[in-house]
A and B are shown apart, each in its own frame.
Chain A
Amino acid sequence: MLGGFFRKVAGKSSSRDVAKKRLKFTLIYDKLEVNDDVLNNLHRDIVEVISRYFEIDKDAFKMDIRRTEDRSALIVNTPILSSKRKT
Chain B
Amino acid sequence: MSGKIIVITSGKGGVGKTTATASIGAALALEGKKVAVVDMDIGLRNLDVVMGLENRIVFNIVDIVNGRCKVKQAAIKDRRIDNLFLIPASQSDNKDALTPEGVVGVSEELKEEFDYTLMDCPAGIEQGFENSIAAADEAVVVCTPDVSAVRDADRVIGLLYARSITPKLIVNRIVPLMVERGDMLSHEDMVDVLSVELAGLVPMDDNVVVSTNTGVPLVLQKESKAGSAFRRIARRLNGQNDLPIVVPQSQDRFWKKIGSRLGIGR
Q: Which residues of A contact B (CB under 8 A)?
A: 1, 3-4, 7, 14-17, 19-20, 22-24, 26-27, 30-31
Contacts and interface: CB of A to CB of B under 8 A. Distances in A.
A16 B189 contact: yes
Nearest to A12: B182
B144 to A, nearest CB: 12
15 contacts: A1-B180, A1-B181, A3-B181, A3-B182, A4-B180, A16-B182, A16-B184, A16-B189, A19-B189, A20-B185, A20-B189, A20-B193, A24-B193, A26-B147, A26-B151
Contact of A27 (B183, B189, B193): B193
Nearest to B178: A16
Contacts, number: 45
* 5 A-B pairs with the lowest CB-CB distances in the bound complex, closest first: A14-B182, A16-B182, A20-B189, A4-B182, A3-B181
B179 A16 contact: yes
Contacts of B192: 20
Contacts of B158: 31
Contacts of A30: 151, 154-155
B186 interface: yes
Contacts of B180: 1, 4
Interface of B: 146-147, 150-151, 154-155, 158, 179-186, 189, 192-193
Contact of A23 (B147, B155, B183): B147
A36 B181 CA distance: 44
A5 to B, nearest CB: 10
Given A16-B189, A30-B155, A23 B182 contact: no
Contact of A15 (B150, B151, B182, B193): B182
Given A4-B182, A15-B182, 15 more contacts: A1-B181, A3-B182, A15-B183, A16-B179, A16-B183, A16-B189, A19-B185, A19-B189, A20-B189, A20-B192, A23-B185, A26-B147, A26-B151, A27-B154, A30-B154
Nearest to A22: B147
Contacts of A23: 147, 150-151, 185, 193
A83 to B, nearest CB: 42
Contacts of B181: 1, 3-4, 14
Contacts of B146: 19
A36 to B, nearest CB: 19
A23 B191 CA distance: 12
Contacts of A31: 158
B194 to A, nearest CB: 8
Nearest to A14: B182
A45 B151 CA distance: 32
Nearest to A4: B182
A69 to B, nearest CB: 18
A16 B193 contact: no
Given A1-B180, A24-B193, A16 B185 contact: yes
Contacts of B185: 16, 19-20, 23
A23 to B, nearest CB: 5
A27 B180 CA distance: 25
B248 to A, nearest CB: 15
A19 B147 contact: yes
